């Protein structure tokens, strides 16, 4: 498949998607989001890929939705585009998504980052939801996922001022997993992706889904959900292999069955 606004490659079993509109700081136009979601879904189905990594460039992960595309459109036109129907499909991806972010991570860019399961940030990253400065508000999870991630007061401050926070502050609030020098962020994310890619794929996917359920479900329902996953994985070939390998004091060979 050929794309205009993203590039795609594979490194061992890690699928790498790079946002590629550098002249306008990877602003997310409709076509870019279409391409991104199509490729995420393709990689999710591709048995050769176990983990997906999304990145941008050093200057910008993404500076938000493409303001040119929104500026002239009426509310009804934007509603009729139904762009969030595509966006929301990202949360159905079953393989883990690692984000490697640097530079501007703003608006829709921050919301895209929050769609990633694990995030490695360069120390140059500036992360925020500046929509209020444009007279609007986030529409792809900025008030919901950010509040769950950093807590009500910090989210309120970020959303009402529109000011970005530094990578280090984002790390203190648990919004990103790790902050590394700009020269290293992509390699660090790739190293982590390869580590997760070596784990048994079924367990990885069931754990991912179960962790996300913790954001939505009351505790006891979440515990019930977790237990179903636990029993399900006991039926997998990889469980036999994992336990056998432990007993035989050798490395397991996981197949995803």
Catalytic residues, by residue number, are: 65, 108, 111, 131
Q: How far apart are CA 8 and CA 39, in angstroms?
A: 8
- The smaller minimum CB distance to ligand CO8, of residues 65 and 114, is found at 65
Q: Which of 15, 96, 130, 201 binds ligand CO8 (CB under 6 A)?
A: 130
CB of 81 to ligand CO8, least distance (A): 10
Question: Among residues 81 and 178, whose Cβ is nearest to ligand CO8?
Answer: 81
In the list 61, 87, 185, 254, the residue contacting ligand CO8 (rule: CB under 6 A) is 87
Per rule CB under 6 A, is residue 105 in the interface with ligand CO8? no
Binding mask 29-68 for ligand CO8 (x = CB under 6 A): ----x-----------------------------xxxxxx
Rounded Cα distance between 240 and 186, Å, is 35
Q: Which is nearer to ligand CO8, 96 or 108 (CB)?
A: 108
CA atoms within 13 A on the CB side of 33: 25
> Which residue number, 49 or 63, has a Cβ lying nearer to ligand CO8?
63
φ, ψ dihedrals at 99, nearest 5°: -105, 135
For 255, the token pair is: 């197949």
**Which of residues 56 and 108 has its CB atom nearest to ligand CO8 in the complex?**
108
Residues 6+ positions from 45 with CB-CB distance below 8 Å: none
Smallest distance from ligand CO8 to CB 139, Å: 4
Stretch touching ligand CO8 by CB under 6 A, among 113-121, 127-135, 197-205, 239-247:
127-135
Q: How many residues bind ligand CO8 (CB under 6 A)?
A: 23
Please tell me whether residue 200 binds ligand CO8 under the rule CB under 6 A.
Answer: no
Q: Please, which of residues 136-165 interact with ligand CO8 by CB under 6 A?
A: 138-140
Sign of CA dihedral 192, 47, 2, 105: negative
**DSSP per-residue codes, 27-75:** -B-HHHHHHHHHHHHHHHH-TT--EEEEE--SSEEE-SB-HHHHHS--H
- The residue among 24 and 92 lying less far from ligand CO8, judged by its C-beta, is 24
- Minimum distance from residue 197 beta carbon to ligand CO8 (Å): 28
The least CB distance from residue 68 to ligand CO8, in Å, is 5
Exposed / middle / buried, residue 241 (Cβ in 10 Å: 0-12, 13-18, 19+): middle
* H, E, C per residue of 76-140: HHHHHHCHHHHHHHHHHCCCCEEEEECEEEECHHHHHHHCCCEEEEECCCEEECHHHHHCCCCCC
CA distance 55 to 73: 29
Binding site for ligand CO8 (CB under 6 A): 24-25, 27-28, 33, 63-68, 87, 104, 106-108, 111, 130-131, 134, 138-140
């Amino acid at each position: 498949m050929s794309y205009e606004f993203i590039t795609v490659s594979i490194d061992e079993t890690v699928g790498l998607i790079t946002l590629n509109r550098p002249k306008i700081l990877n602003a997310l136009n409709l076509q870019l989001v279409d391409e991104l979601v199509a490729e995420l879904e393709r990689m999710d189905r591709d048995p050769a890929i176990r983990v997906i990594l999304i990145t941008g460039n050093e200057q910008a992960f993404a500076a938000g939705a493409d303001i040119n595309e929104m500026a002239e459109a009426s509310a009804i036109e934007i509603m009729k585009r139904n762009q969030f129907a595509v966006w929301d499909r990202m949360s159905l991806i079953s393989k883990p998504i690692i984000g490697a972010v640097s530079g501007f991570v703003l608006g829709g860019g921050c919301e895209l980052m929050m769609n990633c399961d694990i995030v490695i940030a360069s120390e140059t990253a500036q992360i925020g939801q500046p929509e209020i400065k444009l007279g609007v508000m986030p529409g792809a999870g900025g008030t919901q996922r950010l509040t769950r991630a950093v807590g009500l007061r910090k989210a309120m401050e970020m959303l009402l001022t529109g000011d970005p926070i530094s990578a280090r502050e984002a790390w203190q609030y648990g919004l990103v997993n790790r902050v590394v020098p700009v020269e290293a962020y992509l390699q660090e994310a790739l190293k982590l992706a390869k580590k997760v890619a070596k784990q048994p794929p079924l367990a990885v996917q069931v754990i991912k889904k179960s962790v996300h359920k913790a954001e939505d479900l009351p505790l006891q329902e979440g515990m019930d959900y977790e237990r179903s996953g636990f029993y399900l994985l006991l039926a997998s070939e990889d469980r036999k292999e994992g336990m056998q390998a432990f007993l035989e004091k050798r490395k397991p060979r996981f197949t995803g069955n």
